[in-house]
Copies of this chain bind each other. A is one copy, B any other.
Amino acid sequence: MVLICDGLGDRPVAALRGASPLERAIRPNMNHFAGRGACGIMDIIAPGVRPGSDTAHLALLGFDPYKVYTGRGPFEAMGVGMEVRPGDVAFRCNFSTVNDKMEILDRRAGRIKDGTVELARALDNWEFEGVKVFFKEGTEHRGVLLLRAQGLSPLVSDPDPHEEGVRPHECVPKAPEAALTARVVNAFVKRSYEILRQHQVNRARAKAGLKPANIILPRGAGIMPHLPSFQERFGMKTAAIAGVALVKGICRVAGMELLDVSGATGGLDTDMNAKMEAALKALDGHDLVLVNIKAADLCGHDGDFKGKVKVAARIDKALGVLRKGLPEDVHFALTADHSTPCCAKDHTGDPVPLMLSGPNVRTDNVKSFGERACALGGLGRLRGTDLLPVLLDLSGRVEKFGA
């Protein structure tokens, strides 16, 4: 059982008398587990490296993100809830504004907030030279372009020139095998202008004195790698419970069964108890169950340290379900996928606390689950990619390397 408290790690907060939100939270259940298990800290990617939720979960699932994460596009696509398959090439995109000469006036279309659902729908589900083309809006001016066919390549240049006052660049293949991909991207950009310029959302924006979102500018092509599933790697049946599309997507790509839990929203209002109960139930029939609780990360991004203290306490309460119900022979890892300090309002490279409990764990003297207490624990300082091997070893699931 792996419980990932998304973004739970933090830094000392002056207004909390130098404690972190986690350290300040009332957390008898976390401390109970810390007292029974072994603690440490974990650099999810490497010391000082700021993980995204995607690279972090890849690492925690045992993949080297530097090897499998070749471009953000496919993971952005997952993040907005698109289905992504191995071989798909995806791009991060902006809704942008160009004038009649096709010169870019605003790369973010006046930071457009409303209407992108309709605009995206007008571009979605197209086909060009046998390539299926999907487009979906993200938050604000962001969107994702996804191409699906045999023989695509991410080795193409960005149409987005990354500056304003110039025309979009032509998408150029950087290798012969990327010629088709470049042609499709160029056709898509052209088509986005033709369709969006006269779209009713943009006519309404013009009337309201807002910049039209009249072109899509793709960048950062990436191909979805084929990740071997847990079944292939270890012969294991695994399940994941998560509210957020990006985390769900990565777990799905890693071959985990996604369990729907009613009330699990990925928001602050998520029903944590329901998630824990579902996770307990899922132990029956699965070798590994992963639960992601997003709420602490949201508070971190908002800089809401008081809210984060409360969320940590709520997670702790929900942990009571595991404290009561977790069978004694189950290994349990309590950790975070990265730190999202309230002072930074974003992910940082600070290590996260880690607690391991269960049979055969070498216990230590740490009795409190917090960033600084865990740093003095018996597990020392690990990497995110170490977690899965350690759990597999403790539970006798890995082959010997050598004789």
Q: Which residues of A contact B (CB under 8 A)?
A: 11-12, 18, 20, 41, 45-56, 65, 69, 72, 75-76, 79, 246, 341, 343-344, 346-350, 360-365, 371-372, 375-376, 378-383, 386, 388-394, 396, 398-403
Contact = CB atoms under 8 A, between A and B. Distances in A.
A401 B47 contact: no
B349 A389 contact: yes
A394 B49 CA distance: 10
Contacts of A396: 344
A49 B383 CA distance: 13
Contact of A12 (B65, B363, B375, B382): B363
Copies of this chain, whole number: 2
A362 B350 contact: yes
A251 to B, nearest CB: 15
A55 B344 contact: no
Of the listed residues A69, A75, A375, A383, the one surrounded by the most CB atoms of chain B closer than 10 A to its CB is: A375
Given A46-B386, A403-B79, A343 B360 contact: yes
A57 B171 CA distance: 41
A162 B162 CA distance: 56
Please classify the interface of chain A as helix (H, G, I), strand (E, B), loop, or mixed, using the class held by over half of its residues. Answer: loop
A292 to B, nearest CB: 15
Of the listed residues A20, A372, A402, the one surrounded by the most CB atoms of chain B closer than 10 A to its CB is: A402
B388 A52 contact: no
B401 A65 contact: yes
Of the listed residues A45, A379, A393, the one surrounded by the most CB atoms of chain B closer than 10 A to its CB is: A393
A377 to B, nearest CB: 8
Nearest to A12: B362
A39 B358 CA distance: 26
Contact of A381 (B11, B20, B380, B389): B380
A142 to B, nearest CB: 10
A370 B384 CA distance: 26
Contacts of A389: 46-49, 349
Nearest to A79: B403
